[in-house]
Amino acid sequence: MDRLPLIAGNWKMNKTYQEAEELLNGLVKGIDNNLEDREVLICPPFPFIDLAVKLTEKTPIKVGAQNLFWEEEGAFTGEVSGKMLNSIGCKYVIVGHSERREYFQENDVLLSKKLKIALNNNLVPILCVGENLPQREAGQEKDVVKSQIINALDGFIAEEIKKMVIAYEPIWAIGTGKTATPEQAQEMHNFIRLTIADKYGFDSAEEVRILYGGSVKPDNIDQLMSQMDIDGALVGGASLKAESFLRIINFQ
């Protein structure tokens, strides 16, 4: 089946309000408002989400969040709920980015709760999976990724899996300038799809979109997107400049 490509920009912890406004205006000015053959998403820091929703209102650009809490509401100082994100116009949320796993010790059991909360609040979760350099060098990358997928998706049914997006991010390629070759990325994307098919059925595996995230740039996006099982990109640094992100959006 044809899966609509998704190009997502993860701003991480970058930009002031004024800088965010400038970047958003650049994207709004440069994007093709008749874009129908691909989906575009930006995930700014929490303080800029409302601004992003308002400035992109009449464009194809959708807005998501970089994280959410695993409960609906309550005495959780400093946290942000799925209900809050939905109420201000968020459509997506990133779950389990490698930086959340590393710096905040988020594990698969916790991420499973976040996925459930996201779906309960009509947010499309983008579940991030991927191996680090020692794991890759030891030949453990497939075992690591399979374990992350199976554990995080434990308890979900096939219809719920179809509502999710998975992002494969080789941790050794994030912010390092290194990129998995298109062939390496395709191999892992195909493995992820087969893993989902084995547990949730062929239909789910065919519908779920799998993004590549790991030093995606204007000069490698075309090659990456030419691979059969790569359905889009989760873009970090290159999403912080309108010119480079627009080039990635307009991949050939």
The span from the CA of 150 to the CA of 127, in Å, is 12
Indicate which CATH number applies to the domain containing 175.
3.20.20.70
Does some domain include residue 139?
Answer: yes
- Domain range for 204 is 6-249
Does some domain include residue 20?
Answer: yes
pTM value is 0.96
Crossing angle of the two packed helices 17-30 and 242-249, in degrees rounded to 10: 40
| pLDDT tens digits, one per residue of 194-245 | 999 999 999 999 999 999 998 899 999 999 999 999 999 999 999 999 999 9
**Structurally, how many domains does the chain consist of?**
1
| pLDDT tens digits, one per residue of 23-57 | 999 999 999 999 999 999 999 999 999 999 999 99
What pLDDT was estimated at residue 214?
87
Tokens read off for 216: 């995606």
Does some domain include residue 207?
Answer: yes
| pLDDT tens digits, one per residue of 74-121 | 999 999 999 999 999 999 999 999 999 999 999 999 999 999 999 999
Does some domain include residue 224?
Answer: yes
User: Has 97 been annotated as catalytic?
Assistant: yes
What pLDDT was estimated at residue 150?
97
Catalytic residue among 106, 169, 189, 207: 169
What pLDDT was estimated at residue 174?
77
Nearest Cα to Cα of residue 232 among 49, 2, 48: 2
Q: Answer whether 232's CB lies under 8 Å from 219's CB.
A: no
Does some domain include residue 181?
Answer: yes
Does some domain include residue 230?
Answer: yes
Does some domain include residue 1?
Answer: no
Catalytic residue among 97, 131, 141, 207: 97
What pLDDT was estimated at residue 1?
56
